[in-house]
Amino acid sequence: MRIIKIFDTTLRDGEQCPGATMNVDEKLQIARQLARLNVDIIEAGFPITSQGDFEAVKRVADEVRGVTVCGLARAVDKDIDRVAEAVKNAESGRIHIVIATSDIHLKYKLKMDRAAVLAMSVKAVRHARKYTDDIEFSAEDATRSDWDYLCRVTEDVIKAGATTVNIPDTVGYTVPQEYSELIEYLMNKVPNIDKAVISIHCHNDLGQAVANSTAAILKGAGQVECTINGIGERAGNTALEEVVMTLKTRPKYFDADTRINTREIYKTSKMVSRITGIAVQPNKAIIGDNAFAHESGIHQDGILKERSTYEILNPEEIGISKSKLILGKHSGRHAFKDRLTTLGYQSLTEEEINKAFERFKALSDQKKHIFDEDIEFIVTNEIITLKESDGFSLSSLHVVSGTEQRPLAKIKLSIKGERREMESTGDGPVDAVYNAIKELTGTKSELKKYEIKGITGGTDALGDVVVMLEEDGRVVRASASDPDIIVASAKAYINALNKLAGICRTVEKGV
């Protein structure tokens, strides 16, 4: 059976999803989890775009072992040099070079002709060869490129030393039959194709990304580029969990598998969703809340008689425990720690686990049932908090509202360790709180989105708030949960402000 390499680009293309910006520590946390998931390659960023991206790729390369670490570069020396510098301490480092090959990109974006792009591609690969033997070349917008020109570029970059050639469907334009024909065409027409791995990278603009990827695997593609939860530019990328589980579920059909430790999928999905603030839709394949929920009576009856009647996947294979209601008042520290690991919190210190356990015990005195979401709330809101000296944090909040008076908020914040307080009114209690925070922090950001939902059942449910802020063209998304929805709103806003404060992009992302 062929083994297909999994090239995870959650930290690069995934981060290009509006609002998904991650700081260096967050990227490192995800990279460590991706290594546990056993991906073959982690694309950790686009180092030339900012100091933050450079540092993220460097830290992942310096600290994460057992995986190839890769950075993206345009086909120019300064980008390539920057990637080489960032990945130089990796156990195994890769330079990924991209340049567009479609006439539409050549004419309007690059303003170059085909011969010039070909020459530039070859020159870039030769330059990268000075640093490493592991070079990936991407022909951006390959699916709208002339097929024979694409063959020529592929042949020449392989001659120059590219060991992986990626055929991206950059704008999510192709369909499975056509994409598989293109891969087959390259396999048959490029004389030295056996000297490189053919990679695929699909965007989901028409909802075809996973189908296109699996169709291309059938024709010999040996690497698939994908992201956790399918996040990425616009409609996103091929979802790692979907393509991996498709191969795993249909081994005879594909005669191909991956090295992924599928039991880590659910944790990884949870971690990425928590860090980026991008929720997973309930009906999302493999990891959505409803992926294993059976509503219809006929289906339930079938499942009870024989699981395989209506379930083609075993939830435990992707790391989902049988029951969602997992812990209660009498649960011990061991079970609690185990649950934290399942939820993707592997990197907590013993002290943090003890603190979280104490909070869990206190909460189980207040709430009858403790759900995964409650535990996530404890960890994200009370354990993994910024050190006071790092940014903004909520010290206290008092809100008065009702039918008789204009809502009034009194708020105390710690701003880089200094206590400040403010009173403000608003059209509603959240508005009053946000007005006070705005004044106290002096932020110029604009609130683009505010969403609130109850995340566990009942009136004692936690309220989960997601906010999206925009400042100088940068968009960040953050979330927070609390049994008090006004407190959750304040915390989500403050988390987003902290994210904005931690970003230092100098060059716009994207190619």
Alpha-carbon separation of residue 234 from 12, 73, 247 (angstroms):
13, 21, 26
Among 59, 201, 270, 367, binds ligand KIV (CB under 6 A): 201
Measured from the CB atom, the residue of 170 and 456 that comes closer to ligand KIV is 170
CA dist., res. 377 & res. 12, Å (int):
27
Per CB under 5 A, 13 contacts Zn ion: yes
Token output for 283: 């009906």
CB 170 to ligand KIV: min, Å: 3
Chosen from Zn ion, ligand KIV, none, partner binding at 339 (C-beta under 5 to 8 Å by type)? none
The mark string for 54-83 relative to ligand KIV (x by CB under 6 A, - otherwise) is ------------------x-----------
CB 170 to Zn ion: min, Å: 6
Measured from the CB atom, the residue of 26 and 140 that comes closer to ligand KIV is 140
Chosen from ligand KIV, Zn ion, none, partner binding at 166 (C-beta under 5 to 8 Å by type)? ligand KIV
Per CB under 5 A, 225 contacts Zn ion: no
CA dist., res. 113 & res. 106, Å (int):
6
Q: List strand residue ranges (DSSP E) for 124-191, in order.
A: 135-140, 164-169
41-45 vs 5-8, strand pairing mode:
parallel
11-50 residues in contact with ligand KIV (CB under 6 A) are 13
Measured from the CB atom, the residue of 10 and 443 that comes closer to Zn ion is 10
User: 96: number of CA atoms within 13 Å, CB side?
Assistant: 29
CA dist., res. 168 & res. 186, Å (int):
13
CA dist., res. 287 & res. 278, Å (int):
14
Measured from the CB atom, the residue of 63 and 205 that comes closer to Zn ion is 205
Give the binding-site size for ligand KIV (rule: CB under 6 A). Answer: 11
Measured from the CB atom, the residue of 225 and 470 that comes closer to Zn ion is 225
Residue (of 217, 216, 238) closest to 227 by Cα position: 238
From the list 162-170, 214-222, 245-253, 284-292, the region that binds ligand KIV by CB under 6 A is 162-170
Per CB under 5 A, 8 contacts Zn ion: no
82-121 residues in contact with ligand KIV (CB under 6 A) are 98
131-166 burial, b if ≥16 CB within 10 A, otherwise e?
bbebbbbbbbbbbbbeeebbbbbbbbbbebbbbbbb
Per CB under 6 A, 135 contacts ligand KIV: no
Among 163, 166, 213, 479, binds ligand KIV (CB under 6 A): 166
Give the binding-site size for Zn ion (rule: CB under 5 A). Answer: 1
CA dist., res. 324 & res. 44, Å (int):
33
Would you say 212 and 237 are in contact if contact means Cβ atoms under 8 Å apart? no
Chosen from Zn ion, ligand KIV, none, partner binding at 511 (C-beta under 5 to 8 Å by type)? ligand KIV
Distance in angstroms between the alpha carbons of the first and the last residue of the chain: 36
Per CB under 6 A, 223 contacts ligand KIV: no
Instruction: Compute, in degrees rounded to 10, the torsion defined by CA atoms 257, 258, 264, 270.
Output: -100
Per CB under 6 A, 138 contacts ligand KIV: yes
Which residues of the shown chain bind Zn ion in the complex (CB under 5 A)?
A: 13
Which residues of the shown chain bind ligand KIV in the complex (CB under 6 A)?
A: 13, 72, 98, 138, 140, 166, 168, 170, 201, 203, 511
